[in-house]
Structure 1
């Protein structure tokens, strides 16, 4: 055995030379495998962390739900999903709004790639009408103390009931939608149906006392809200899930507000019926001022104000009849400047203005089940400003006439010729002595542009008669 070992001495040497190279290659492979496994492990740990997100995006649904709010919600939820947010928090304080806009918001919530939490807040807030649907669409629905939810019946924009057939169709559709939302999140379907059919409403205490509850929990602030959600289930044991998985942990995550951009805020402001009414009023008086005192500025500003008012009214149920009543009221104010009516024209103008303002947004619009109208305080303020405007205008005209008598005695116009600026039958406006004067015809009707002769003066009014034309 010893001989055989010595006799094969050359082979072991070659093997000894080859062994380190082979060992080195295998060691390198093992190290590469180990590094790859480490990287895969790190990646597998990093993936859930990225999916969990590093912040919560907060959106605010306030005021009437309109197309501006809907676009803001769509963009906000989409941006939150792509920014690595763990969840979207929608803070709700809204009386409701358009059904079409509500549909857009519901679609955005249901298609969200991350959990959506709806929270009726702050204290004293409400989720009425369409906002009730939005609240129940959340993966977690919460309410702050002293808040309420409900009254989701579909009515006309002025608060009136809809025609029977139309009401039944829209109500049944709304009931099917809201009960499906409640069922999918383990909430009270019976109450959800009554919110639409019977306009049922509930405080936060009532909402949580039902079985199952209307919403999942009560929280006064975001810290308490996230702490309750992190428990993983509500008080009756119903688990909070998203796509069948538990919600990510939210406590301690920063909350980042995603507010409307300047353009959205401006358009949303214009959709306020009070703002639209004020813009209509400013626009009419701007154009009126342009007619009396041409200067381009007041006319341009008036036109811009009216255009902005129409833009804001695009999401409101504008009643054209109410708009015409406002125009008629302003027209009566203008007539008061030219005719002595002992206040009757002014009184008529006030009545038309008030009726038009109240009727401006009372058309039936099934897409907007919120009562929309102009505040009585705004209406009273507009009337007072209108009366002050025309009082100052009349006073200024009288002062101008008084100053004219010092530079050109009106009595000196007797016997002078002139022309009719308006139809004088029997009163109107005459142009004589380089000025426009109130005139009264003593010799029959005088058409605009026809010559006339001043035959007398009564106060600041010219007594005129038609000028005989040469044959």
Structure 2
């Protein structure tokens, strides 16, 4: 078909072409989604930095960080916020899915993103720092600490045009807001039912000198490398603490039963636990755990009373409590979350400790128990396997087993003897006179 200038089809053709161009461009846009659905651990900042680099290299339209977290480390939180500021990629913080929360450190991260959004029925806040002590969990009232957090929250809120007063109340008053309250307070910009809804709402916004073209954009989920995935697992405070405790038990078992390979398992488990914690371990916890191991070894060398074993178990349990990274600023989460984490770590430690002590004493009981025979051997017959002089001890064979025996009169190798008495593992035997002798 030939089109000429007077043809009515030509304008129609160009109109269709113009309509198609925007949709094609929109379909080519992609956003990267990073899911933070647990605590902010020592590897969380690595995940965010890696996701930002990936988004920059592939020229993604934006990075969405979905938040469902009880909080986490302050250092990691600061590194995440700094990485977001340094990156040229627009970062959207999104508390998602519905019914979840972004408390404490999670709230600060949300305030530090370029665009802040929440899904329906979500909560942010509970950012008052707390500390763990033998007396319980108490709020931190040190002006130096509180003022530093308030300054950070207000600075990030001002940077992104959000309500500074509300940002301050998250810390000073432990304020909590749901999605509707946060939107009304001006601490977030959007409430979206899902990621597609969020992308449609933010479309056209100017962020970091770039107009977002996110309507109908493709969604790609961030997949960390194998190394980061593994680190993400072992950096969970519950996992890392239990790895250290299992490692301790492994070493104790290895000391009591050399050659079983338990020592190797113990060393590997402790190493992984330390790596997961970023080698940031409470010195008091290490001291108590080592003391517990020493007491178990002493019990192994001098069993019977159980004092060393019981004291060792108490030290291990106390050490596991101190292993929990609950002290601020190592951990920044609400008091209820910290209580739950302490219970989650200490409970299996107590159970494993009691089980370990039970098995430990059963092994020692068997090890030190006098040998017993299934039935009374008195009156039974055995065979001498060596010459034994009168009044001395030697060995006889009884039901396929070798037993130490004491004789009243001399016997020779091969003689048949009768068992007349049993004292623990020692038989008393006498020679059976054969007919005709």
User: Residue 314 of structure 1 aligns with which residue?
Assistant: 278
Partners of 1:139 and 1:88 in 2: how far apart? 10
Question: Is the CA contact 1:53–1:84 (under 8 Å) kept in the aligned structure 2?
Answer: no
Change (3 A) 1:274 1:202: same
* Cα deviation, residue 309, structure 1: 1.6
Among 194, 198, 202, the alignment partner of 2:169 is 194
> Which consecutive residues of structure 2, in runs of 5 or more, have no partner in the other structure?
1-20, 374-387, 394-403, 405-421, 426-437
Q: Which of 189, 197, 222 does residue 195 from structure 2 map onto?
A: 222
Cα deviation 1:417-456 (Å, max 9, x = unaligned) = xxxxxxxxxxxxxxxxxx9xxxxxxxxxxxxxxxxxxxxx
Alignment partner, residue 204 of structure 1: 179
| Aligned mates of 1:188, 1:327 — CA distance in 2 | 50
Matched, 1:360 2:323: yes
* Alignment correspondent of 1:14: none
Instruction: Check the 8 A contact 1:171/1:196 in 2, yes or no.
Output: yes
- 8 Å CA contact 1:89–1:117 kept in 2: the answer is yes
1:367 positional shift:
4.8
Shift of 1:127: 1.6
Structure 1: how far apart are the matches of 2:143 and 2:291?
38
* Aligned partner (choices 157, 160, 170) of residue 145 of structure 2: 170
Structure 1 residue 364 displacement after superposition: 4.2
Shift of 1:256: 0.6
CA offset digits 1:4-29 (Å, max 9, x no partner): xxxxxxxxxxxxxxxxxxxxxxxxxx
Instruction: Spell out the pairing of 1:260-299 with structure 2 (5 A cutoff).
Output: 260-295=224-259, 297-299=261-263
Residues 170 and 313 (structure 1), Cα distance of their counterparts in 2 relative to 1, 3 Å cut: same
Pairwise CA distance, 1:375: 4.0
What is the deviation of 1:191?
0.3
Instruction: Report if the CA contact (8 A) 2:89-2:208 is conserved.
Output: no
SS in 2 for 1:58: strand
Is the helix fraction higher in 1 or 2? 1
Q: How far, CA to CA, are the matches of 2:86 and 2:325 in structure 1?
A: 35
How far apart in 2 are the matches of 1:100 and 1:378?
Answer: 23
Q: CA deviation at 1:313?
A: 2.4
TM-score (norm 1): 0.66
Structure 1 178/380 Cα, relative in aligned 2: closer, same or farther at 3 Å? closer
Are residues 1:134 and 2:90 paired? no
- Aligned-residue CA RMSD (Å): 3.7
What CA distance in whole angstroms lies between the structure 2 residues aligned with 1:74 and 1:180?
Answer: 22
Q: Which among 96, 106, 118 is matched to residue 143 of structure 1?
A: 118
SS class of match (1:67): coil
CA contact 1:118–1:141 (8 Å) conserved in 2:
yes
Q: How many residues align?
A: 357
Secondary structure (helix, strand or coil) at the match of 1:275 reads helix
Counterpart of 1:382 in structure 2 is: 349
- The offset of 1:305, in angstroms, is 1.1
Deviations 1:191-233 (A, max 9, x none): 01111222222111211232xx211111121121122223x5x
**Residues 285-306 of structure 1, C-alpha deviation per residue, up to 9 Å, x if partnerless?**
2222222222162211111111
User: In structure 1, how many angstroms separate the alpha carbons of the residues matched to 2:28 and 2:132?
Assistant: 42
Distance 2:55 2:88 in 1: 9
Could you tell me which runs of 5 or more consecutive residues in structure 1 were left unpaired when the two chains were aligned.
1-45, 233-239, 407-411, 417-434, 436-456, 461-471
CA distance in 1, matches of 2:53, 2:232: 20
CA separation of 1:352/1:393 partners in 2, compared to 1, >3 Å: closer, same or farther? closer
Question: 2:192, 2:26 → 1: CA distance?
Answer: 26
2:67 aligned to which of 80, 84, 92: 92
Larger radius of gyration: 1
Deviation at 1:83, TM superposition (A): 0.4
Q: 1:249-269 CA distances to partner (integer Å, 9 max, x unpaired)? A: 312111011122221122222
- 2:146 and 2:40 map into 1 onto residues whose CA distance is 19
Paired residue for 1:323? 286
1:142 is displaced (CA, Å) by 0.6
TM-score with structure 2 setting the length: 0.70
What is aligned with 1:116? 91
Task: Encode CA deviations 1:151-206: one digit per residue, 9 max, x unaligned.
Answer: 223444665444x6xx3233323323322222233321110111122222211121
Change (3 A) 1:376 1:100: closer
Aligned-residue offset at 1:111: 2.5
Following the alignment from structure 2 to structure 1, what is the Cα–Cα distance between the partners of residues 27 and 83?
20
Say which is worse superposed, 102-111 or 366-375, in terms of deviation: 366-375
Alpha-carbon distance, 1:381 to partner: 3.0
